[in-house]
Copies of this chain bind each other. A is one copy, B any other.
Amino acid sequence: MSYDGAMDTDRVPPHPDMRTITLQRVLEALVDPVRRSIVTQLCAAATDVKCGGFDLPVSKSTATHHFRILREAGLIRQYYVGTARMNALRREEFEEVFPGLLDAVVAADRAPVHGGASR
């Protein structure tokens, strides 16, 4: 819970208070496949991941854009470690505000096809 010597940055991007986030923003964030992929990968990683650590089909500047949307929607938290920007899911906080939503979306994303498979 404590970043020892490396915590010497004031470059902390603005994060929304969880009491101010809206379903509208959340859905706008999750409707994009790239952003949903970020959330899914983050969910599967079970640990914080730096921006460059994701497998994304877009340029760096576009990726930055997507990370900001996710952050402003209240879905992820970002902090610097050296030149790297780390990303973490705000799972528990989010769960309190919109119970079941994140799990449902992530689970749904995992199962694009269901029930009667090829058959």
**A residues adjacent to B (C-beta < 8 A):** 19, 22-24, 26-28, 30-31, 33, 36, 96-101, 103-105, 107-109, 112-116
Contact = CB atoms under 8 A, between A and B. Distances in A.
Contact of A28 (B24, B31, B105, B114): B31
Copies in the complex: 2
A115 B96 contact: yes
Contacts of A23: 36, 105, 108-109, 112
B98 A100 contact: no
Residue among A24, A30, A96 facing the most chain B CB atoms (10 A cut-off): A24
10 contacts: A19-B113, A19-B114, A23-B105, A23-B112, A24-B31, A24-B33, A27-B27, A96-B114, A100-B107, A101-B104
Contacts of A97: 114-115
Contacts of A22: 112
Contacts of A113: 19
Contact of A19 (B36, B107, B116): B116
